[in-house]
Amino acid sequence: MNMPFRLIVASLFALLPAVVARAQDPGKPVYAVVYVEVMPGKDKDARRLILDHVIDARKATGAVSIEAFARDGYPDQFVLLEQWQSQKARDDYAATSGAQQFRTSLGKIESAGVDERIQEALFVESGKPADVPPIAVITHIDIIPSALERGRNAIKQLVDGNRGQNGSLRFDVIVQTNRSNHMTLIEGWKRPADKAAESAAPGTVAFRHELSSVSGSPYDERTYRPLRN
């Protein structure tokens, strides 16, 4: 195999995840987890931009739920949790002048590129929008592909054991449309003490030990509060 041909093959494999993502059912509901980081001292500007964006996006056709959160202890880090009726609905909104202006304005103060992950339901209690919790804990979970079934079974046990228990308001898992081994756990809690109790529970401790043997990255658990005016 000559070098030019190798480069062509490599390029095709690099594009494959995006092709797979676009090939999904255009009418299937989708979620988006969008991580935003801005430069130090620009958090107030970011809050205003993000809140205005949320108001605008909620008016879009096909928007089911658009919520924004600020990370505890990191005033320059935010996350958007979006739920759409379809990928097409989200794409249509992304093409509007309002959405494009938001990204342009955000780009002037961001300290890193926007990390946007398109996902679908894996272990979700209901397709209806969840109430916004006082505390949201969002965790990116990466399972090594060879142990995907084992990892998902462990996650399912964690969800079943915690959903609706001990002050839990939400306990859902969504999965990336282009990487089936990358998932996001979304928890909603009433109080920090409720989350602390869950973290110390035997089932959670056992889960963390089990997951560590099949994980492809650190367990990236982050705590957020709803972004308000």
Residue 1 domain-assigned?
Answer: no
**CA 67, CA 79: separation in Å to the nearest integer?**
8
Residue 19 domain-assigned?
Answer: no
- pLDDT computed for residue 127 by the predictor: 67
* Residue of 66, 62, 117 whose CA lies nearest to 89: 62
Residue 85 domain-assigned?
Answer: yes
- pLDDT computed for residue 96 by the predictor: 97
Residue 140 domain-assigned?
Answer: yes
**CA 62, CA 76: separation in Å to the nearest integer?**
29
- In one letter, which amino acid is 42? K
Query: 115: Cβ–Cβ under 8 A, 6 or more apart, which residues?
Result: 34, 35, 36
Q: For residue 192, give the 3-state DSSP assignment.
A: helix
Domain count, the chain: 1
Q: What is the share, in percent, of the chain residues with pLDDT greater than 70?
A: 87
Torsion of CA 161, 180, 23, 63, to 10 degrees: 40
User: Which pLDDT tens digit goes with each residue over 39-68?
Assistant: 999 999 999 999 999 999 999 999 999 999
**H-run or E-run covering 166:** none
CATH number at residue 152: 3.30.70.100
Q: Which residue has the tokens 């859902």?
A: 172
Say whether pLDDT at 160 is over 70.
Answer: yes
**How high is the mean pLDDT of the chain?**
90
Range of the domain at 151: 30-226
Residue 7 domain-assigned?
Answer: no
Q: What is the mean pLDDT of residues 33-37?
A: 98
* Residue of 95, 110, 93 whose CA lies nearest to 55: 93
Torsion of CA 60, 134, 124, 78, to 10 degrees: 60
- pLDDT computed for residue 229 by the predictor: 78
Say whether pLDDT at 24 is over 80.
Answer: no
DSSP class of residue 143 equals B
Residue 207 domain-assigned?
Answer: yes
- pLDDT computed for residue 20 by the predictor: 42
Residue 20 domain-assigned?
Answer: no
Q: For residue 11, give the 3-state DSSP assignment.
A: helix
Residue 6 domain-assigned?
Answer: no
